[in-house]
Amino acid sequence: MMLLVRVPSRIYNSCSQPHTRPGGFAMLKLYGFSVSNYYNMVKLALLEKGLPFEEVPFYAGQTPEAFAVSPRGKVPVLGVKQGFINETSVILEYLEQTQEGPALLPADPFARAQVLALCREIELYIELPARACFAEAFFGMAVPEAIKEKSRAELLLGVGTLGRHGKFAPYVAGESFTLADLYFMYSLNLACGVGEKLFGLDLLEPLPKAKALLARLNGMPNAQKVEADRQAAMPAFMAMIAAKK
């Protein structure tokens, strides 16, 4: 069981006062840890939109203290003036509805629906099947063969879905960087690792434009900042995992 662990917070785009935005509004606070791909989706969205925010790192868990922040004890969570907002998709839509900066969702309702559908498809049909195998692919813990076989089949179906719905012209949903690219980047990086390590598969081989986009997204300056933070946090995270074996 993960316990709530806080470390000194970090402020991006810091303002004159550490917990306040210009005009007296409370600064956004992002709760979670830098190894989480869902946390990093929100973090990159904040950076791309140019929003000042404070990172409040913690490992959530099934404790009263964690439940005070997240009803299910999971990350990420966004702290705002009124309280806490949980669930990645909800946080991202909240940012689009309330904050300034480059839009990550189209204004047109149909185009917006397509982006949101891509986000959900990537999460349900690629990220979640891959997640079932994270323990073996990344942490050295065996996963039952039946689960791996199911994940392999579902990953191939998920990538097929992505190929049919994604435009990759050049971004996942078309000409603009959107929330779909966040889901794509932080799901496919891990899913491709699972495919290669456990199944000897290059999941994006049938989708050369998708493979090129993934490399392009990983090279974005803000994405590289997020990745540097992830790598810096990894040793402590791996030590925590090892202690639980």
pLDDT digits (tens, 9 = 90+) for 69-80: 999 999 999 999
pLDDT digits (tens, 9 = 90+) for 165-194: 999 999 999 999 999 999 999 999 999 999
Please determine whether the domains at 10-102 and 109-222 fall in the same fold group of CATH: no
Q: Which residues contact 44 (CB under 8 A, 6 or more apart)?
A: 182, 185, 186, 222, 223, 226
d(CA 34, CA 19): 20
Going by DSSP bridges, is the β-strand pair 83-86/77-80 parallel, antiparallel, or unpaired? antiparallel
Q: Determine the average pLDDT of the residues in 224-244.
A: 92
Q: Determine the average pLDDT of the residues in 32-50.
A: 98
State the pTM of this model: 0.91
* Mean pLDDT across the chain: 91
Fold category of 109-222 in CATH: Glutathione S-transferase Yfyf (Class Pi); Chain A, domain 2 (1.20.1050)
| Residue (of 140, 139, 90, 134) closest to 116 by Cα position | 90
| Domain limits, the chain | 10-102, 109-222
Q: Which residues contact 35 (CB under 8 A, 6 or more apart)?
A: 230, 233, 234, 237
d(CA 7, CA 10): 9
- Residue 6 is predicted with a pLDDT of 40
pLDDT at 63 over 80: yes
Confidence of residue 26 (pLDDT cuts 50, 70, 90): low
- For the structural domain made of 10-102, what CATH number should be given? 3.40.30.10
pLDDT at 33 over 50: yes
- What count of other Cβ atoms lies within 10 Å of the Cβ of residue 244? 9
d(CA 61, CA 245): 17
Question: What are the angstrom distances between the C-alpha of 238 and each of 60, 144, 222?
Answer: 16, 22, 24
pLDDT digits (tens, 9 = 90+) for 82-120: 999 999 999 999 999 999 999 999 999 999 999 999 999
Confidence of residue 241 (pLDDT cuts 50, 70, 90): confident
Question: What are the angstrom distances between the C-alpha of 138 and each of 61, 128, 196, 223?
Answer: 21, 15, 12, 21
